[in-house]
Structure 1
Amino acid sequence: MSERIPCPPHPVLPDYYRTKGEHRQFVRSIFDKTACYYDRINAVFSLGSGKWYRRWMLRMAGLRAGQTLLDVATGTGLVAQEAATITDAANIIGLDMSAGMLGQCRDKLPIQVVLADAQALPVAPASMDMLSMGYALRHVHDLRATFAGYLDVLKPGGHVLILEIGRADNRLVQLLLRFYLGRVVPLLSGVAASQDSRRLMAYYWDTIEECVPPARILDTMQSVGFSKVRKHTSFGVFHAYMAERPL
């Protein structure tokens, strides 16, 4: 019975939504409205390190030449773009619930894109060698259901990589991160005047602040059947969760 209880990544955030339906609509809307700014925001936030980090984590998680990849919540295609340097772009499917984000992705990558929810994957069971998700796990409404769906679409022996940002253990670092994300990133990326972009940054921060600890994410991945569940952490806040579907 307990396995049917939803396992959200963070509590309801009433400043943005109050129900599951409102949550889905809010996330779709805010990313549609900010899609044209997203790459600029990301470049500033990652201090230019995003490309090599995503490529490094994809290789560490197990992506190899010739393999198929489902990039969930692909957004503008930042993870898929690095995956295309490892496997052929024709082997990559980018999935996102935001049409605005997928429009940006189509303009720069020759991959197949699908408009769909991360918790309702329109992909055949046991069909993908790898599944990736970049900085979007905090936007789903049930970790257990999400991970179960991910496990289902992977081939036996397939790999999953989930990139996320978490709370810093050091309170001072956490305060600095909040200031950087909320004030510096909008200013340096040139989106400070955009109300939608400021709201996105506020929501982004609140989901980081309220997110369940990494141990909960790892335990939930293991509870749905993933094996070799592990986490790689960089700079104390960038987490890469990796696991495999058992053979």
Structure 2
Amino acid sequence: MQTVASDSGTKKGQDASFVRKAFASIASRYVLTNHVLSLGIDVIWRWRTGREVAACQPQQVVDLATGSGDLAAEIQRRCPDAAVLGVDFSQPMLMEARKRGLTQLVVGDGMNLPLQDACADVVTVAFGLRNMASWPDALREMSRILRPGGHLFVLDFSLPKSGLIRAGHLFYLRHVMPRVAGWLTGERAAYEYLCGTIEAFPSGEKMNAMICENGFEKSDAAALSFGIASLYHARKAG
């Protein structure tokens, strides 16, 4: 298992080259594997994120690390009059997104987006910030493409605070998930890596602080499903 996270867990993200290869190798089985590994709960997490995005009444939404397009499709369903653009650095993943009827898709790196300043009302990223090479740099890039007063939604895995639930979840991440995912995709090493990133990724108040230090004036965290995932909602100053 590889990791390049810093000791503080807030400076550096992941090995971008490895992540690119990993997602390319699992693209065709990614959605099925997610649903199996989460017992379908990931659908509820995206449903809630889409509901909160819709409450902002956006006209321009950019979904970063859109992957197979699950969240972008949910947002488009809830915001039929909004332009929803999906961005991902993996062409094979974008090919999966097209199968969901998404047409506004762009190949792009979250660290250097091919988008103009202040072009979006809302930026979303689901299970993608964790895999970027530098979390602070990625957040500043998200702030750059947001209009003043725009909203950021970050949905990602986290670790439960409760000792018993946390211990059980860590066992699942370390020993169960990679085996099941390896059986479903034939790429166990990719999931060993991705599962390992969850432990290094900051959550709760640490994530709120990092978001506010990199282009946003306020960030709130909502723990989902006993804290195995978290939804962060931040706003750009202005």
Deviation of 1:170 (Å): 3.4
Aligned-pair RMSD on alpha carbons? 2.7
User: Contact between 1:9 and 1:138, CA under 8 Å: does it hold in 2?
Assistant: no
Q: Does 1:217 align with 2:212?
A: no
The reply on whether 1:28 has 2:20 as its aligned counterpart is yes
Work out the number of aligned pairs and report it: 231
The reply on whether 1:164 has 2:159 as its aligned counterpart is no
Q: Which structure 2 segments of 5+ residues have no match?
A: none
**Contact 1:233/1:240 (8 A) holds in 2:** yes
Classify 1:157/1:90 alpha carbon distance in 2 versus 1 (closer, same or farther; 3 Å). closer
- In 2, the alpha carbon distance for the partners of 1:194 and 1:86 equals 31
Question: In the alignment, is the contact (CA less than 8 A) between 1:77 and 1:105 conserved in 2?
Answer: yes
C-alpha contact 2:86 2:105 (8 A) present in aligned 1: yes
Match of 1:244 among 223, 227, 235: 235
Q: Which residue of 1 aligns with 2:138?
A: 146
AA matched with 1:199: A
Structure 2 residue 191 is the aligned partner of structure 1 residue 201: yes
- Please state if 1:134 is matched with 2:129: no
- The correspondence for 1:173, drawn from 165, 177, 198, is 165
Deviation at 1:177, TM superposition (A): 2.1
Residues 209 and 52 of structure 1: CA distance in aligned 2, closer, same or farther (over 3 Å): closer
Distance 2:27 2:198 in 1: 20
| CA deviation after TM superposition for structure 1 residue 193, in Å | 5.9
The answer to whether the Cα contact below 8 Å between 1:77 and 1:109 also exists between their aligned partners in 2 is no
Task: Report what 2:94 is aligned to.
Answer: 102
Deviation track 1:76-107 (CA, whole Å, cap 9, x = no partner) reads 01111110111138711111111111110111
C-alpha spacing 1:105/1:90, structure 2 compared with 1 (3 Å): farther
Aligned residues of 1:64 and 1:87 also touching (Cα < 8 A): no
Instruction: Tell me which amino acid in the other structure corresponds to 1:10.
Output: A
Q: Which moved more, 1:56-65 or 1:233-242?
A: 56-65
Q: What is the identity, as a one-letter code, of the residue corresponding to 1:92? A: V
2:227 aligned with 1:227: no
Contact 1:89–1:110 at 8 Å: present in 2 too?
no
CA distance in 2 between partners of 1:58 and 1:9 (Å): 31
Q: 1:64 to 1:212 in 2, by over 3 A?
A: closer
What code does the residue aligned with 1:54 have?
R
1:96-125: CA deviation from partner (whole Å, max 9, x where unpaired): 111111110111122311111111111111
Structure 1: where are the runs of 5+ without partners? 1-7, 13-18
> How many Å separate the matches in 2 of 1:87 and 1:241?
20
Deviation sequence 1:134-181 (CA, Å, 0-9, x none): 011211122221111111111122110000111222343234224434
| Aligned CA distance change for structure 1 residues 193 and 77 (closer, same or farther; 3 Å) | closer
- Structure 1: distance between partners of 2:88 and 2:194: 17
CA-to-partner distance for each residue in 1:195-219, whole Å, 9 max, x for gaps? 41x1222112211112234333211
**Letter aligned with residue 27 of structure 2:** A
CA distance in 2, matches of 1:213, 1:83: 24
Cα separation, 2, equivalents of 1:113 and 1:236: 31
Does residue 63 of structure 2 align to residue 71 of structure 1? yes
DSSP-derived class of the 1:79 partner: helix
SS of residue matched to 1:85: helix
